[in-house]
Amino acid sequence: MYKVVTILSLGVLVGCSSTTTTETIQDIAGSWECTSLDDKSIQLSYSDRTDYIKGGSFNKLSKMSFKLPNYAELYDVTITSKGNWNQRNSLLKEEISNYTVEVGDSFPDMYVEQLKSNIKLPDKANWKLGTVNEQAITKTSNFGQKLTCKKVLL
């Protein structure tokens, strides 16, 4: 269970990237939907929708599905977070002010409180941004998590 909690914590908002670059990236302000498939051993899938509001605040809804050891079913965890962001060229800094953790109804009761109390998101995260095209970017943390993000057109 500890491995799962650790991976989930890293999967939601991990950063601290020390790599900088001079690549110019479009302004991140707006709504983005990001996806990733990282740890195939527990079949972790991750997606989020982040609204980067001009002025520097953000709202994020993150959803993860994964298998627990010795369980066949996929389980869902949803994390809602709010905070502030700052972009400088290809470096995006996010700072979380608060978050909540919810688990799906099928999540085993014996793990619910353990998971909720052990998920600790970092207060700050740094992401290196890369351009895919005009409406898509990548976000990469120094831990190797890579998200592919598409701009949500309203």
Cα 90 from Cα 75, distance rounded (Å): 34
> Are 21 and 89 contacting, i.e. CB atoms less than 8 angstroms apart?
yes
Q: Which residue has the tokens 């895919």?
A: 132
Which carries the bigger pLDDT value, residue 117 or residue 61?
A: 61
The pLDDT of 14-42, averaged and rounded, is 66
Cα 149 from Cα 87, distance rounded (Å): 16
Q: Hey, what amino acid is at 139?
A: K
Q: What is the pLDDT of residue 138?
A: 94
Q: Is the pTM of this model over 0.75?
A: yes
Tokens of 117: 């109390």
Q: Check whether 39 has a pLDDT greater than 60.
A: no
E strand or H helix at 77, and its extent?
strand 74-88
Q: Which residue has the tokens 């994964």?
A: 66
Q: Check whether 107 has a pLDDT greater than 90.
A: no
The pLDDT of 81-96, averaged and rounded, is 95
| Exposed/middle/buried for residue 38 (C-beta within 10 Å: 0-12, 13-18, 19+) | buried
Q: Check whether 37 has a pLDDT greater than 90.
A: no
